[in-house]
Amino acid sequence: MQWETVIGLEVHLQLATRSKIFSGSATTFGAEPNTQASAVDLAMPGMLPVLNAQVVRYAVMFGLGIGADIGRRSVFDRKNYFYPDLPKGYQISQFEAPIVGKGTFEIQLEDGSTRDIGITRAHLEEDAGKSLHEDFHGQTGIDLNRAGTPLLEIVSEPDLRNAAEAVAYLKALHSLVTYLGISDGNMAEGSMRCDINISLRPMGSQTLGTRAEIKNVNSFRFVEKAIRHEFERQADILENGGKVVQETRLYDADLDETRSMRSKEVANDYRYFPEPDLLPVVIDEQYIEAIRAELPELPTQKRHRFVTQYGLGNYDANVLADSRELADYFEAVVERCGDPKIAANWVQVELLGLLNRSELPIGESPVSAAALGALIARILDNSISGKIAKQVFEAMWQGEGSADEIIDARGLKQVSDSGELEAMVDQVITANAGQVEQVLAAEEDRRTQLIGFFVWQVMQYTKGQAKQHIVKKKPVNNTKM
């Protein structure tokens, strides 16, 4: 049987506010355990939550970024469950009236094509604390620093069809929220975590199969592996005539497998009810329009602009518009050198290549955009070849100076002055009288081949700095063959 994979993702995004969603505690990552937990976060009796206004702004920015309906009146609810790192015994979340309603989201696939993915909703909630098992033998430590960190939970429609699309969706989402500046998107620190809902159905079928939900996957690579693995597991069950059980599973990256955490056949056991300690959030048109007016250019818009304004292909535009810093860098290079295609190529191949190798973010590139632009300008005005430029770039990376300084110091300027070249060609011819005899004696069709020897000699002589097509012309003229 041919199976179609159906995937819907729930992404938990930590919002980049300085303080928590309902208390004044700091949200800095990596602080000493329980140093950023106030009486509110500890759920002391009588403590009342106060909503952080910045959280609402960020949620609205996201909603506008995906063209979604913004909830004019959204309501916080209590989601009741017991867990040691949730001292209140409930999580404050939003259930029936989320702040962001339906929207769509364009993702870009490897082959350059795009697809629209539906967003069902995005709602605000608080993060839980952390249970620490490693440091306490036979016991569990509780760190409540994370408790109350603002989260935006973004729920997609079951529109994704394979691991590559799921990863493309997450990358596009990552790009959007970092453009908006509403999250640092740091997956390794848990700022963006993802639950994967996945089911299979016979190819061509329109009804949804029973899903399993894989919890808390926190890297693009693990998302891909978890989906591949879960596809195999479910296909195996279905092909042997079995039934997939609706359950929550955990992806174990070390073993590369998913295993059952709890069965979830009854979906709604949280006894949601409206949070009595918080008023509904009511926002008006003016508030929304003020936020809209301040939105930056978003990744999709930038990508389209790169295609129309600079004539880039979809793939290149997508890579370069992926982060705001990279896009700004690229545009600064173009401004300096004036050629978007060569700039795109240099940024993607040479710059990103060296950044990856040195594991540096674009913000710490040792070569500035203006400096790279100045180097490319030297290729464009024929001072150096593309090949020599790579050497110069490496030297710039090592801090040896600007492109012009390095070209001068190393004497790399390309020789295209024909007088100078002619003199060299003459020298080569005089020094290789034997080879000249051969050329003169050779058949017409062998000659070009033999002349290659002289071109090579001249290139050696000038350490590759001569312009090849000029050199090729000279021996022919000079020896009147």
Q: Which is nearer to ligand ADP, 10 or 247 (CB)?
A: 10
Q: Which of the choices Mg ion, ligand ADP, none does residue 40 contact, using the CB cut-off of 5 to 8 A by kind?
A: none
**Torsion 342-343-344-345 (CA) sign:** positive
Does 155 bind ligand ADP (CB under 6 A)? Our answer is: yes
Total count of residues recorded for the chain: 481
Which positions from 2 to 21 touch Mg ion by CB under 5 A, shown as an x/- string? --------x-----------
Which positions from 437 to 466 touch Mg ion by CB under 5 A, shown as an x/- string? ------------------------------
Does 199 bind ligand ADP (CB under 6 A)? Our answer is: yes
Does 10 bind ligand ADP (CB under 6 A)? Our answer is: yes
Of 158, 190, 274, 464, the one binding ligand ADP by CB under 6 A: 158
Q: Which of the choices Mg ion, ligand ADP, none does residue 106 contact, using the CB cut-off of 5 to 8 A by kind?
A: none
Q: Which of the choices Mg ion, ligand ADP, none does residue 199 contact, using the CB cut-off of 5 to 8 A by kind?
A: ligand ADP
Q: Which is nearer to ligand ADP, 227 or 327 (CB)?
A: 227
| CA dist., res. 410 & res. 403, Å (int) | 11
| CA dist., res. 362 & res. 356, Å (int) | 9
Asked whether the beta carbons of 95 and 127 are under 8 A apart, the reply is: no
Asked whether the beta carbons of 18 and 25 are under 8 A apart, the reply is: no
Q: Which of the choices ligand ADP, Mg ion, none does residue 464 contact, using the CB cut-off of 5 to 8 A by kind?
A: none
Question: To the nearest whole angstrom, how small is the minimum distance from the Cβ of residue 12 to ligand ADP?
Answer: 12
Q: Which is nearer to ligand ADP, 83 or 136 (CB)?
A: 83
| CA dist., res. 365 & res. 145, Å (int) | 33
Phi-psi region of 338 (alpha: psi -120 to 50; beta: other; left: phi over 0): left
DSSP reduced 3-state for 409? helix
Which H or E element spans position 4?
strand 3-14
Q: Which of the choices Mg ion, ligand ADP, none does residue 142 contact, using the CB cut-off of 5 to 8 A by kind?
A: none
| CA dist., res. 184 & res. 192, Å (int) | 9
Contacts of ligand ADP in 205-234 (CB under 6 A): 208-209, 211, 213
Asked whether the beta carbons of 125 and 151 are under 8 A apart, the reply is: yes
Site size for ligand ADP (CB under 6 A):
17
| CA dist., res. 243 & res. 230, Å (int) | 14
Question: To the nearest whole angstrom, how small is the minimum distance from the Cβ of residue 10 to Mg ion?
Answer: 5
DSSP reduced 3-state for 355? helix
Closest CA to 337 of 391, 307, 379, 309: 379
- Burial of 191 (C-beta count, 10 Å sphere; 0-12/13-18/19+): buried
| CA dist., res. 123 & res. 146, Å (int) | 18
Q: Which is nearer to ligand ADP, 144 or 154 (CB)?
A: 154
How far from 188 is each of 229, 289, 328, CA to CA, in Å? 22, 34, 25
Q: Which is nearer to ligand ADP, 2 or 430 (CB)?
A: 2
- Ranked by CB distance to ligand ADP, the top (closest) residue is 8
Does 6 bind ligand ADP (CB under 6 A)? Our answer is: yes
Of 1, 203, 267, 293, the one binding ligand ADP by CB under 6 A: 267
Q: Which region, judged by CB under 6 A, interacts with ligand ADP, from 43-51, 193-201, 328-336, 370-378? A: 193-201
Does 8 bind ligand ADP (CB under 6 A)? Our answer is: yes
Question: To the nearest whole angstrom, how small is the minimum distance from the Cβ of residue 467 to ligand ADP?
Answer: 59
Q: Which of the choices Mg ion, ligand ADP, none does residue 155 contact, using the CB cut-off of 5 to 8 A by kind?
A: ligand ADP
Q: Which of the choices Mg ion, ligand ADP, none does residue 157 contact, using the CB cut-off of 5 to 8 A by kind?
A: ligand ADP
Q: Which residue has the tokens 């300096």?
A: 336
Does 157 bind ligand ADP (CB under 6 A)? Our answer is: yes
Q: Which is nearer to ligand ADP, 174 or 302 (CB)?
A: 174
Does 144 bind ligand ADP (CB under 6 A)? Our answer is: no
Closest CA to 126 of 92, 99, 98, 153: 92
Question: To the nearest whole angstrom, how small is the minimum distance from the Cβ of residue 113 to ligand ADP?
Answer: 22
Q: Which of the choices Mg ion, ligand ADP, none does residue 257 contact, using the CB cut-off of 5 to 8 A by kind?
A: none
Q: Which is nearer to ligand ADP, 52 or 93 (CB)?
A: 93
- Burial of 475 (C-beta count, 10 Å sphere; 0-12/13-18/19+): buried
Terminal Cα distance for the chain, rounded: 72
**Residues 6+ away with beta carbon under 8 Å from 130:** 85, 142, 143, 145, 146
For 214, the token pair is 């894989």
Question: To the nearest whole angstrom, how small is the minimum distance from the Cβ of residue 192 to ligand ADP?
Answer: 15
Angle at the Cα of 130 from the Cα atoms of 127 and 133, rounded to 5 degrees:
160
Contact residues: ligand ADP, CB under 6 A: 6-10, 155-158, 197-199, 208-209, 211, 213, 267
Contact residues: Mg ion, CB under 5 A: 10
